[in-house]
Amino acid sequence: MNQFKPINDQDIQYFKTIIGEQFVSGDPEVLKNYSKDETPDETLRLLPEVVIKPTTNKEIQLITRYCFEKNIAITPRGAGSGLSGGSIPAYGGVVLSLERMNRILEIDIENLIVVVEPGVITNDINRQLKSYGLFYAGYPMSLETCQIGGNVAENAGGGKAVKYGVTGHYVRGVEFVTASGDLVHFGGKIYKDVSAYDIVHLMVGSEGTLGIITKIYLKVIPLPRERIVLLAPFDDVNQALRLPVILLKEMAVVPTSLEFMNHESLDFTYNYCNRSYPFPEAKSHILVEIDGDDEDRVFSLSEKIGNRLFDMGAKEVYMADNSVLIEEIWKMRRAVPEAIHLALPVEMNEDISLPIQKIGDLLLIVEKLSQQYHLFSPVYGHIGDGNLHVTLAPKRKKDWRKDEPVIRKTFYGKVKELGGVLSGEHGVGLKRKNYLSQFYSLEEINLMRNIKKAFDPKGILNPGKIFPDSE
């Protein structure tokens, strides 16, 4: 176990001299707010000793150098909207909140690059880009609240990944502060670079364990002028799950989004939103979005997809072809995780990723576990790229503390057998670290540990994350 130095008054006074007294806090209520993220598990609530809110890379360098010298743990933090415990301070120490580093530094329309600080709210980037006819296509589902630095740290995905990819596809460069307090810069306004190791994309998805990101270069692309969303209920889930192959292979169409919601997930959502929904008895609903610049082509393509949905057994196909109707459908889809969490506060919430053609097998596994352990099992997610959000929650709570570790281990084992991975977009963090060895060999984990050690020899950056405790 890491032995970090506890923070004392002298340390706090030093931090205050760097960034000002009002941006360094040891107030118990403030510490409590920074002891958690959006992970439902109440056991993942760990207090920092101090919260620091810098605004410049120089301030971060001075703080980090001091912590490196004194062996003080640092947990970098964005909006705290994560779902893996990645920004929770496992060993107390400093929570380094980047929320005040929230400037869009440059919009370079000639090179199609936007340069931002890590605390920028992700959707604010697109608000600024819209007038230029551009957009950032990373699109995590919590885009109204999450910050771009956290998106990069987790390599966040979302509802448009099937066409546009995840955060890492758009990161062209990063500036970051190392564990010892050095400021380094890799990449930038370039599209190709094989000059050396790809440090840029090693930082993407590193969960704050390798460096503290202070500047990000993002690729942006032209904003599509036309969008249409289709919503189709199905009685036969297996018929619905044929859609990725039909669209991507038979019709040679890459949809913007291809989303799946089973009956339970929709039931919780419409109750939460106090709304009725079409064909509530349907076993699943499929959401398809198409976008492009040619209005006639987008409409024609949507009609063809709608007809194909009917051929596959859809009970109805609802088409939204204006921004108000489109937002109504997406609003319901985005409400799914919140609705499930409010209805099932005690839950096991997973975001596994697996080959698209194994999704049906996974749903059978979920159904079997649900019956065996008397569970609620809402499932929803991105079937266009194989990333599903699976919630397993007890109908009777008395056995949950005993059953949950067994259920989790069994579930992960089945995911591994299907060729899947531990997390598709939320990360490992605190929540899943002790299950990493179900997916990687000891040799593979040691290789990753050695990378961590090369970047952070004292282990002060976001300690206690990703890697299993019991090795």
Burial tier of 470 (Cβ tally within 10 Å: 0-12, 13-18, 19+):
exposed
The bridge status of strand 134-135 relative to strand 221-222 is antiparallel
Q: What is the pLDDT of residue 470?
A: 61
Structure tokens at 190: 């370039």
CB 65 within 8 A of CB 109: no
CB 101 within 8 A of CB 55: yes
Q: What is the pLDDT of residue 46?
A: 97
CB 146 within 8 A of CB 136: no
**Rounded-to-integer distance, Cα 314 and Cα 284, Å:** 10
Angle at which helices 400-417 and 359-373 cross, to 10°? 160
Q: What is the pLDDT of residue 431?
A: 94
Phi first, then psi, for residue 20 (nearest 5°) are: 100, 145
First-to-final CA distance of the chain: 11
Q: Which helix (H) or strand (E) holds 126?
A: helix 122-129
CB 246 within 8 A of CB 198: no
Q: What SS3 state is found at 187?
A: strand
Nearest to 399, CA basis, from 367, 372, 363, 438: 372
CB 246 within 8 A of CB 308: yes
Structure tokens at 70: 């004194």
CB 114 within 8 A of CB 218: yes
Q: What is the pLDDT of residue 228?
A: 98
Angle at which helices 263-272 and 323-343 cross, to 10°? 100
Nearest to 125, CA basis, from 219, 226, 228, 257: 219
Structure tokens at 29: 């209520």
Q: What SS3 state is found at 233?
A: strand
Buried residues in 326-347 as b, exposed as e (16+ CB within 10 A): eeebbebbbbbbebbbebbeeb
From first to last of its 471 residues, the chain has per-residue pLDDT tens of 468 999 999 999 999 999 999 999 999 999 999 999 998 888 899 999 999 999 999 999 999 999 999 999 999 999 999 999 999 999 999 999 999 999 999 999 999 999 999 999 999 999 999 999 999 998 787 768 899 999 999 999 988 999 999 999 999 999 999 999 999 999 999 999 999 999 999 999 999 999 999 999 999 999 999 999 999 999 999 999 999 999 999 999 999 999 999 999 999 999 999 887 778 889 999 999 999 999 999 999 999 999 999 999 999 999 999 999 999 999 999 999 999 999 998 889 999 999 999 999 999 999 999 999 999 999 999 999 999 999 999 998 888 989 999 999 999 999 999 999 999 999 999 999 999 999 999 999 999 999 999 999 999 999 999 999 864
**Rounded-to-integer distance, Cα 166 and Cα 170, Å:** 8
Q: What is the pLDDT of residue 202?
A: 98
Beta strands in 170-223 (DSSP E): 171-177, 183-187, 212-219, 221-222
Q: What is the largest CA-CA distance in the chain?
A: 71
The sheet carrying 104-108 orders its strands as: 104-108, 113-116, 212-219, 171-177, 183-187
CB 462 within 8 A of CB 74: yes
- Signed CA dihedral, 157, 162, 163, 169: sign only: positive
**Rounded-to-integer distance, Cα 97 and Cα 47, Å:** 14
Q: What is the pLDDT of residue 2?
A: 67
Q: What is the pLDDT of residue 396?
A: 87
pTM: 0.95
